[in-house]
């Protein structure tokens, strides 16, 4: 884990830290080649060198940041969303299958937009 990301997570309340650590593990397990980095003041993830997703916490919620892929509206209806974020709470986390699907969608998007030569 990036040292700055470690410090960011260590500074959070216990419940938010646990929720984001779980989400972090799910993201890293979703596809080979995902790398951690720190950007925009929060832990992030890259695929083939391209920014993919970020995780963070605010006073009343945690969030998965990055443009929200289309096609997940039904699965996300129980969560507050915007064009660039999905908010959740530690006691109502994003389902693992949904995280996996979002990550795979982001990976596919990167592979199409920036094919490896």
- The values of phi and psi at residue 31, to 5°, are -160, 140
Which domains are seen in the chain, by residue range?
3-113 (3.90.1150.200)
Nearest of 27, 6, 31 to residue 17 by alpha carbon:
6
What single DSSP character describes residue 91? T
Torsion of CA 79, 85, 88, 94, to 10 degrees: 80
- pLDDT of the residue at 2: 78
Tell me which DSSP letter residue 89 carries. B
Rg (CA), the chain: 14
> What digits encode the pLDDT tens for the residues 10-66?
999 999 999 999 999 999 999 999 999 999 999 999 999 999 999 999 999 999 999
Band the pLDDT of 1: cuts 50, 70, 90. Answer: confident
Over the stretch 64-116, which tens digit does the pLDDT of each residue have? 999 888 899 999 999 999 999 999 999 999 999 999 999 999 999 999 999 87
């Amino acid at each position: 884990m990036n040292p700055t990301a470690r410090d960011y997570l260590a500074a959070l309340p216990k419940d938010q830290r646990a929720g984001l650590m779980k989400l972090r593990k799910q993201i890293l397990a979703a596809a080979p080649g995902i790398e951690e980095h720190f950007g925009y003041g929060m832990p992030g993830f890259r695929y083939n060198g391209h920014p993919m997703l970020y995780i963070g916490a605010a006073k009343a919620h945690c969030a998965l940041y990055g443009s929200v892929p289309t096609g997940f509206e039904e699965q996300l209806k129980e969560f507050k969303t915007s064009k660039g974020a999905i908010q959740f709470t530690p006691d109502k986390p994003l389902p693992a299958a949904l995280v996996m699907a979002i990550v795979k969608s982001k990976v596919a998007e990167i592979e199409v937009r920036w094919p490896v030569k």
